[in-house]
Amino acid sequence: MSETQSKPVIVSRQGGLGVLTLNRPEALHALNQDMVEDMIAALLSWIADPEIKGVMVDHVGSRGFCAGGDIRMLAESGAGDGKQAQAFFGREYQLNHLIAHYPKPYVAVMDGITMGGGVGISVHGPFRIGTERTVFAMPETGIGLFPDVGGGWFLPRLPGQIGLWLALTGTRLKAADCLAAGILTHFIPEDLLVAAKAQIAGAMATHTPIATLTSGLDALSEPAGRLHHLVPEHRAIIDRCFAANSVEAIIAALEDVDHDFAREQLAILATKSPQTLKVAFRQLRQGALATDFAAHMRQEYRIGSRVVRRHDFIEGVRAVLIDKDHAPRWQPETLNGVDEALLNAIFAPLSPAEGAEWEPLTW
């Protein structure tokens, strides 16, 4: 294996297309600090390179696009002084912001598991391709974290209350539901992916790369098949119940619905961290009203800097990833125990002792 092939992100060119290939298949390409740094460096260099007309982020293998971030490192750091976790969040969020404001076409090939950190390097770009293997989720409420990487900005901008439902329940969506929700812009069958990638590279050689790229992907895109979660009767329940003005009110609204889908959502919510449910609720409600992505990411950095050191995240990682007993002991145990004072402390500006506030990259 060459040195390039052994790197966690392979940086290459195909004519006028810059390609970032995630290359940590043993970890389903979960992001670590080196990967974030490599992606930032390549993206910044390509902004100034007139020969690069657009960017594609892809991955080796077929099991996952990107399954998240380096959760074990975050938990180990959070159990100590939290500085390494805070540094990772800072750079990861700068990468998310860079992608959201990237001045050249950015294409994410979400062929496989796309969760957590993988969402952050895909959904903020304008072209998001899914396949039969796509599985999307923001599962953070199940490990006591929160739907970060700009989830508080992206999710509430999905139709109706789909985003808040995804944030609170951590539901996994396949391609048809992702396309219906606007998470994917195109569905391209696996057997057409090679042609699609060639089309993406070819579009960068034209005088109108965005228009050529759009028309080419539109031509290759196909219906994604049957909806599973977002059928009309489920959508109606989601939009009605998750529009309530608190997590407690959402639960009360679901309890009033005589439908198996509503009962399933109640059972799911009962397993989640009460702290994280309320953090995510406030995060998304604030994010829906936000007008500046950088300011929103600064808020997520404040939340992340604190939540990573709190009991629920360390306990959630223990229960799900280390001991795998899937029996976390949340503190507080109930929604009533998560008061406004606790939430205000998690969302407050950073103190000098906690470090500098987050700032985006400039270029």
Show which residues are catalytic.
69, 117, 140, 148
What percentage of the chain has pLDDT greater than the value 90? 96
Give 58's strand partners: 21
Residue 2 has pLDDT above 60, yes or no: no
Instruction: Give the list of residues 6+ apart from residue 339 with CB closer than 8 angstroms, or none.
Output: none
Residue 1 has pLDDT above 60, yes or no: no
**Torsional sign, CA 300, 104, 125, 57:** negative
CATH superfamily, domain 3-354, is: 2-enoyl-CoA Hydratase; Chain A, domain 1 (3.90.226.10)
DSSP of 199-265: HHHHHTTSS-HHHHHHHHHHHH-------SS--HHHHHHHHHHTTSSSHHHHHHHHHT--SHHHHHH
pLDDT, tens digit, 9 for 90 and up, residues 174-206: 999 999 999 999 999 999 999 999 999 999 999
H/E segment holding residue 88? helix 83-100
- pLDDT at position 258: 98
CB crowding 235-265: b at 16 or more within 10 Å, else e: bebbebbbebeebeebbebbeebeeebbeeb
**Which of 143, 145, 138 has the alpha carbon at shortest distance from 167?**
138
Contact 27, 38 (CB under 8 A): no
Start-to-end CA distance of the chain, whole Å, equals: 34
Give 31's strand partners: 69
- pLDDT at position 338: 98
**pTM score of the predicted model:** 0.96
Q: Where along the chain do its domains lie?
A: 3-354
- pLDDT at position 198: 96
| pLDDT band of 61, cuts 50, 70, 90 | confident
Give 12's strand partners: 19
pLDDT, tens digit, 9 for 90 and up, residues 3-57: 556 899 999 999 999 999 999 999 999 999 999 999 999 999 999 999 999 999 9
Kindly state the tokens that stand for 352: 């000098």
Give the whole-angstrom CA distance, residue 250 versus residue 238.
10
- pLDDT at position 243: 98
* Averaged confidence pLDDT in the chain: 96
Instruction: Give the list of residues 6+ apart from residue 30 with CB closer than 8 angstroms, or none.
Output: 24, 66, 67, 68, 69, 70, 71, 117, 118
| pLDDT band of 63, cuts 50, 70, 90 | confident
Residue 322 has pLDDT above 60, yes or no: yes
pLDDT, tens digit, 9 for 90 and up, residues 234-289: 999 999 999 999 999 999 999 999 999 999 999 999 999 999 999 999 999 999 99
CB crowding 18-51: b at 16 or more within 10 Å, else e: bbbbbbbeebbbbbbbebbebbbebbeebeeeee
Single-letter amino acid code for the residue at 93? Y
